[in-house]
Every structure is written in C-alpha cells, then in structure tokens.
Amino acid sequence: MQSIFVTGIFFLACHLAYAQAWPPNLQHIQVRSSADQTEQPALAWSPPGTEARPLLVGLHTWSSDYKQSSNGRAYAHWCSQMGWHFIAPNFRGPNNTPEAMGSDLAVQDVVDAVEHMKKSQAVDTSRIYLIGVSGGGHMAMLMAGRHPEIWAGVSAWCGISDIAAWHSEHLRNGRPDGYAQNIEASLGGPPTDARLQEAIKRSPLTWLSRARQLPLDLNHGIQDGRLGSVPFRHSLLAFNQAAAETLPDQEIQSYYETQQRPSSWPAPEPDPLYISILPPGSKRPGWMPGSTESRLLKETLRTPKPVLFRKISGSTRITLFDGAHEIIYNAGLNWLAAQQKGTPVVWDLKNPILLESGDTQSGL
C-alpha cells in the first residue's frame, strides 16, 4: 500500500493546479429526452481516439444540478486520468419539482444520456458505470433497480432508499424541514394517501430486487443521520432488497440507534482504499493551500476511514465506514474499474489507482 500512496501523492503534487478546475475540453451538451422531447443539459468529456472506452455516468446530489463541481470534477478527472468517457446528466435538476426526484422523466434522462454517448462516442458497452452520493446515491440505486441491464457496476454512497421514511425523518416538531419540503414540492404534498404511492415508486427499495444480478456496491458513513442528513440504515435496508441473504430489520435498527455492530455481525477485514488524501488546512472540495511541491509532499495526510462493517451477498456489497455523509472517491471508482459485464463481480482489488480528490465531504 505504501507504493500506492506514494503514487497518489506524486499525482497530487504534479497536478495541483490542474485539479482545481474541470478537465480541459469538457463540453456542455444537450440531450433530447425520448420521454417528452425536451432538450436536457449535461456535461460530457471524451478522450481522443476511436478505441472503445468505458463510460462513467456521474450523478449530482439532491440540491444541485449537472454543473455541481464538488463531486463532478472528481468523476471527470478520474475519466481524464483513465481515458474513460464521462457524462454528468441533469436528470431535471434539484429535487424540488415534480419532474425531478426520481420521476419517470428523470430516470429516462439518465438512460438517454447513456444512449447519447453510445451514439456519439466509441463506448465499451461492457463497461458502463454509475456513481453517486447522497441524492446521487438515491438516483444510483434507483437506476440500478429500474435499468440493471445498462450497468457493469453501480457505486452508491449515503443514498436515500425510502422517500416516505426520509420525509418523516425530516419533520421537526411535526413541521417539514428543507428536505421534507423538497419532497412535498416534488409530490404535491406530504407522502400520504395517493401521494404515498408516488413516493414508493420513486424509492429505490421498490426496485432493487431487480438488481440482484448487477454488481452493486453500497457505502455509508456510520455518523450519517447525526453528522449528516441520511441515516445509514437507508443503505442497510437497500442491501436487504438487492441481496440474496438479508440482515434482520431489528438488528439494523439497533445498529443505527447504538452505532454498535450487532454481536452476530462479523468484524470486517481492513480495506486500505478507505482513506482520504488531502493536505492540512483543506476547507472544501478541490481547494488546497498554496505551497511548493516539497512542502505539499511533507504536509499531505492520510485520513483513515476504517471499514466498520461489510457484508457481501451475491453481487451486492454493503460497507459501513467511520465517516459521515461523504463519498470516498478512490474506493468507489477503483471498484467500478474492476467490473465488466459477462464476468464475475470483483471484490478483491489489485493495484488500485489513487485519484487526488480533495476533501471527501459531499453535501446534499
């Protein structure tokens, strides 16, 4: 792992200025919706050449849109570094309108973005990947269930799996906070009566049983729900829908309430990719203090995010780590890179590549 870390530090130092912006030649494009014939915006990047390359679809978070830089730049830089195609669809923008929040239109927008790239670029269709955190984790899980045939692998972080439950978790003395208000704006009111059925339709839990043959990696920080707005039980319940072997609901609830792993759940093996690489004083994604290369190399830290629980069942894995509401780019992107349609899911990663990603924190 030491050589891997040194490689990552070298990349960080040599590409400091480069990493503060989107990759060169990133394009703002329009993708026609096959559902309502509107033009939907997206960001796209492709490597030169005609060789078929993997495609990464990067999803924005709950309150953002396709231009979101905090996560999008990390995804795009990975593709630039690896020579992959990249697209960041808008899927109807922030989740505060009926057209957004996992609607049929939003789902079709992601499908259409993939089809656009397949028609306009040389895409290796056996290696089309999806990644998202928070609201993007919600959409990643939803797309895994609704269109499992597209993906070679889906990496979802801190995602909302149950819209109605998340609404109830964001009532304060019976009144909706900002996220609950977003849900009500999307549904036309609270998720009760007829609107409850729409909330169920837009929830990954409804669809994830269709993703049981799809390589699916679910991740969540153990502090989320306290230092973050999505209780980590959402990912455990999502695992139960996709996995062949489920976790007891009572033990899931106990784990969330106590933050203590149930005694019958095995302790995990360490995973060296669950680290954050950023220099001291970093305040936000992509920001770094001015320094010479030698000083940067000396000051760069490895912040561990140790795995606290991990379970694999069939093609699905759940990982809880010592973190909050965040994504660890190196873990998610390296896992995706190992997956290919028509081959068994790969859990044991060999020779991972480190991406300089700035802070791991990601908001809704």
Q: Does the residue 20 lie in any domain?
A: yes
Q: Does the residue 357 lie in any domain?
A: no
Domain count, the chain: 1
Query: Whole-angstrom Cα distance, residue 147 to residue 145?
Result: 6
Name the least confident of 10-14, 38-42, 93-97, 328-332.
10-14
pLDDT above 90 for 285: no
Query: How high is the pLDDT of residue 21?
Result: 85
Q: Give the three-state DSSP class for 20.
A: helix
Q: Does the residue 255 lie in any domain?
A: yes
Query: How high is the pLDDT of residue 62?
Result: 98
CATH number of the domain enclosing 63: 3.40.50.1820
Q: Does the residue 189 lie in any domain?
A: no
Q: Does the residue 359 lie in any domain?
A: no
What are the tens digits of pLDDT across the range 99-127? 999 999 999 999 999 999 999 999 999 99
Average pLDDT, stretch 176-184? 98
Residue 127 CB neighbours (<10 A): 21
More confident site: 360 or 281: 360
Q: Is the dihedral of CA 317, 318, 323, 325 positive or negative?
A: positive
Query: How high is the pLDDT of residue 139?
Result: 98
In single-letter form, the type of residue at position 133 comes to V
Domain of residue 214 covers: 2-162+203-337
Average pLDDT, stretch 142-163? 98
- Residue pair 78/150 in contact by the 8 Å Cβ criterion: no
Q: Does the residue 276 lie in any domain?
A: yes
Q: Give the three-state DSSP class for 321.
A: strand
Query: Whole-angstrom Cα distance, residue 43 to residue 72?
Result: 9
Query: How high is the pLDDT of residue 302?
Result: 64
pTM: 0.89
- Residue pair 109/89 in contact by the 8 Å Cβ criterion: yes
Q: Does the residue 355 lie in any domain?
A: no
> E strands within the chain?
27-32, 39-45, 53-58, 85-89, 123-133, 153-157, 171-172, 175-176, 216-221, 275-278, 301-304, 307-313, 316-321
CA distances from 114 to 32, 70, 122, 144, 353 (A): 12, 22, 12, 14, 25
Query: Whole-angstrom Cα distance, residue 135 to residue 364?
Result: 6
